[in-house]
Structure 1
Amino acid sequence: MASTVFIAKESHPEESRVAASVDSVKKMISLGLEVVVQKGAGAGSQISDEAFAEAGAKLATATGAKSADVILKVRRPTDSETKSYKKGATVIAIMDPYGNEKALGAIAKAGLSSFAMELMPRITRAQVMDVLSSQANLAGYQAVIDATHEFDRALPMMMTAAGTVPAAKVFVMGAGVAGLQAIATARRLGAVVSATDVRPAAKEQVASLGAKFIAVEDEEFKAAETAGGYAKEMSKEYQAKQAELVADHIAKQDIVITTALIPGRPAPKLVSKAMLKSMKPGSLCVDLAVERGGNVEGAKAGEIAEVEGVRIIGYNNVPGRIAASASQLYAKNLLSFLETLIDKEEKTLAIDMEDELVKATLLTQGGKIVHPGFGGASDAKGDA
């Protein structure tokens, strides 16, 4: 009998994304799976129930999850949601496992197998499943759009008979996926863009987008990357020199966008109150790490805070602010992973425990937390 996939409506009040698209539903059905979509699941992403039904999905209330073999979600299920799933079901979502061992314990106790999409290894085979990249890309774009909305001046240089308006100066801190997209977007809008990163390889990427790279480029910096492409811990002396350079640069900027996140740890503080005080009146910061404590001193999650005369945009769930696009990409990430878990002949779920993707992302199975990174939580109990 074919496996049933349930697309859940997100219960989090700030979550407008959905774990499927019309195209992903059609593809799952073509694989022989039965697809059930919770009514209203796609409303926040401009996908109607009728559109899902026309794609071949069945519509149901939340109780439809009770008979599902696979539940696809954006966020980790709450305790009440977990209790509504049948024992042995598989949940695939952005599980946010770091620091949430209690919630993982509840999922394990419910007898569910769960996969964390954000733990997907960054290997060639899994590129199409990389939710961190797909969502960060959109976050970097939206950060610039949000900054432009709040900024009371034009971004590009404007030459008129009445005079010339200079281009806005945008500084992006962190040249990962989100940072690079922020650079590209700000450049397309005509801003003068600069960026910094602790990885030497980032210099070429930043320059390729037409932005200026800001860093103390001494011998230590040139050797500051491991064979795997990650940044090494820098000396206190180097950190002090870099901080001085960045502080001097920030004072001349109109908009600062910060993107630095460290898995499993609070976001590093990059911009101090003293740096904010040095900025011009009307300047802005956009803190994309605000949900993890923030890169900017004084940033507040879910708010636009004002510190030393500088507004700090700290919106939660930035990809969800452009939910239609975010859901489209996330649905493709999920579908690509789900395909690797399906027996194409039997049309049923068949998880290969030796698959490197499974090893990297499987959190709970058989009543236990099985991921080595969270093994100490295997006896955890409680609500999400």
Structure 2
Amino acid sequence: MQIGIPDDAGPLVATTPSTVSRLTALGYDVVVTAGAGDAAGLRDDAYREAGALVTSDPDVAWESDVVVCTAVPDDVAERLRPGATLIAQLAPAARPERTAALAGRGVTALALDAVPRISRAQSLDVLSALSNVAGYRAVVEAAAEYSGMFGGQVTAAGSTRPATVFVIGAGVAGLAALGAATSLGARVRAFDVRPEVAEQIESMGAEFVSEPAAQQQVSADGYAAPLTEEQLAAALALYTREAAAADVVITTALVRGTAPTTLTAEAVAAMRPGSVIVDLAAPGGGNCELTVPGERVVTPNGVVVLGYTDLPARMPRHTSELYGTAVANLLTLLTPGKDGELTLDLDDIVQRGMTVARDGDVLWPPPPVQVSAAPSAAPASSGTDGTDAAAAAVVAQEEGRRRPAWLGKALAVAGAVLAGLAVAASPADTAGHFVVLALAVVVGFYVISNVTHALHTPLMSQTNAVSGIILVGALLQIGSSSLLVTVLATIAATVASINIFGGFLVTRRMLRMFRRADEDDDGGGRRAGARGAGGGAGAAASGTAAGGGAR
């Protein structure tokens, strides 16, 4: 089958030379329209070297079996041949007429902006990748507009204070903005209506602004529920107060394409002259009442409001690379035989969720997918629904397997008694070793349990070093004349070896998530997708109401 990459008449391109190599390795023929990657610094010769056919005729790409693009023209259905497959951001909820036109043409349409929010689909999540770029670029735009430096400076002539940046929302875009602003030396504060993201914010070096009256727990579908009137009033008061003290405000609240108001005109009027607002929700209308989508506005009191809607496109090289990688990951999923034949499996929830049209039928919206990490409520058996009855039986079975509440306490007491008897029956020097061991366990527990999640990877490296010391000590004791010592040393060496090698394997796998496909160790060009653009925070959050982060 032939994959066509048209010239989208913009700075972005749907694939790069490195991802073309992955597509050809799957058995596809790739056709790239001449000049499609020029704005991203990707020349035609690079595509040719990667195995693509570069053509000056734009119709060749549109007439391919599979067409991948970043910008969808209004007449896309007429450009495609019947039976073709289109992969792009299709906005099926906002543009139902386009989906109907594609279905009427007999086109199979896969929407990259409809990827289910589950872990297995992270490597296909174009929206998260673009939100990451937008959050980073928002800080770049703010730094260019701000009349001072983000980081405080100390000179012989005096010192300057760092800029104060306030970020509304800690989704993918918000966390990316936090990381960029912190790296520039700014004093960064952030708020989100979901209190569980406080740790993610703090792991990025920012300060979480706590306001219990404006916060809520995550809802069952992974998004924050709409705010009550009391919560909304408390949130708006918080935004007004923080914006008045900030030099830069970045808003990221975008709820399923709709932007709730987080900064009122009165809040902007209270800000200092020269302050900057970057509204990342401008594509949905804007979080600020004074935002004009696509425009730069200066208010009467001298506040600059940036409502740019093309922030990812302002960094075309890396945005195209991320977009192309997601496309290559998707086609890898759709080509299990690596024979150049696209095979769509609608029984797969990922593929079904993205498929909005097929065989003349509109398949949007897809069946709901339960993605919340929150525990589900036990279903009530109505006696008439077989599914409910089966679920209730499973719940009952699981409850039957649970240990009684007293059993854990009884085992702990029994273990303590046995340990005490063992110490009492041991020689005096052995009792001292038991005391050291007990203190080490207690201290180690409290130290490790208080380490933030962002530091678990370096902590694992420390435990590998400790396990190495244990392994060396165990090897020295294996040759002991005492059978008991030899047995214990063998067990210690085995356990320490498992910990060491397992730690290295986990670290290797994590590092591979952040490597380019052409740097992958196995040479197969596969790359595990990493969400979350918020650095180590692993932001899996999407847009939430009135202060939730944009996806």
With normalisation by structure 1, the TM-score equals 0.91
Structure 1 position 49 matched with structure 2 position 47: no
**Corresponding residue for 2:68?**
72
Query: 1:366 is aligned with what amino acid?
Result: D
Are the counterparts in 2 of residues 65 and 84 from structure 1 also a CA contact under 8 Å? no
Residues 210-268 of structure 1 show CA distances to partners (whole Å, capped at 9, x for unaligned) of: 211123125x83x522355421333212221222122112111100001111114x311
The structure 1 residue matched to 2:13, chosen from 3, 18, 23, is 18
Q: Conserved in 1, the CA contact under 8 Å of 2:346 and 2:352?
A: yes
CA distance in 1, matches of 2:54, 2:48: 7
Q: 1:93 aligns with which of 88, 93, 103?
A: 88
Q: Match for 2:233 among 217, 220, 240?
A: 240
- Once the two structures are superposed, residues 255-310 of structure 1 have per-residue CA deviations (whole angstroms, 9 ceiling, x without a partner) of 0001111114x311111111111111100000111111001111112211112421
Residues of 1 paired with 2:92 and 2:221: CA distance? 24
Residue number in structure 2 paired with 1:267: 259
Distance 1:142 1:30 in 2: 33
Instruction: Say which is worse superposed, 145-154 or 307-316, in terms of deviation.
Output: 307-316
Q: Check whether the contact 1:252–1:279 (CA below 8 A) recurs between aligned residues.
A: yes
Q: Cα gap change, 1:242/1:345 in structure 2, threshold over 3 Å: closer, same or farther? A: closer
Q: Distance in 1 between matches of 2:6 and 2:132?
A: 24
Q: What is aligned with 1:319?
A: 312
What amino acid sits opposite 2:284 in the alignment? Answer: R
Q: For residues 172 and 10 of structure 1, what CA distance do their matches in structure 2 show?
A: 33
Equivalent residues of 1:256, 1:284 under 8 A apart: yes
- Matched residue of 2:176: which SS? helix
User: Which residue identity is paired with 1:217?
Assistant: P
1:246 to 1:355, Cα distance in 2 relative to 1, 3 A: same
Candidates 4, 7, 21, aligned match of 1:6: 4
Residue pair 2:254, 2:260 contacting (<8 A) in 1 also: yes
RMSD, matched Cα = 1.7
Matches within 5 A, 1:3-152: 3-11=1-9, 15-60=10-55, 61-79=57-75, 81-152=76-147
Aligned position for 2:393: none
What does 1:269-348 correspond to in 2, within 5 Å? 269-308=261-300, 309-344=302-337, 346-348=339-341
CA shift for structure 1 position 142? 0.5
Please report how far the alpha carbon of residue 366 of structure 1 lies from its aligned counterpart in structure 2 after TM superposition: 1.7
Q: Which residue of the partner structure matches residue 381 of structure 1?
A: none
User: Match of 2:195?
Assistant: 200
Q: 2:208 aligns with which of 213, 218, 228?
A: 213
Size of the alignment, in residue pairs?
Answer: 365
Asked if 1:175 is matched to 2:170, the reply is yes
Q: Deviations over 1:61-100 (max 9, x none)?
A: 2111354110011123431x43122110000011122321
Aligned residue for 1:377?
A: none
Letter of the 1:84 partner, please give it: R
Q: Is contact 1:215–1:242 with CA below 8 Å preserved after alignment?
A: no
Q: Determine helix, strand or coil for the equivalent of 1:348.
A: coil
Are the aligned partners of 2:26 and 2:339 in contact in 1 as well (CA < 8 Å)?
no
Q: Is residue 252 of structure 2 the alignment partner of residue 254 of structure 1?
A: no
Partner SS for 1:32: coil
Structure 1 runs (4+) deviating above 3 angstroms are none
Shift of 1:345: 5.4
Q: Provide structure 1 residue ranges, at least 5 long, that are not aligned to the other structure.
A: 375-384
Gaps of at least 5 residues in structure 2 are: 368-551
Q: Please state how far the C-alpha of 1:180 moved relative to its aligned partner.
A: 0.4
Cα distance in 1 for partners of 2:291, 2:36 equals 31
Distance 1:142 1:55 in 2: 30
- Contact 1:273–1:307 under 8 Å retained in 2: no
Q: Which amino acid aligns with 1:246?
A: Y
Deviation at 1:108, TM superposition (A): 1.9
What SS does the aligned partner of 1:251 have? Answer: helix
Match of 2:181, as an amino acid? A
Q: CA deviation at 1:147?
A: 0.5
Cα distance in 1 between the residues matched to 2:338 and 2:329: 17
- TM-score where L is the length of structure 2: 0.64
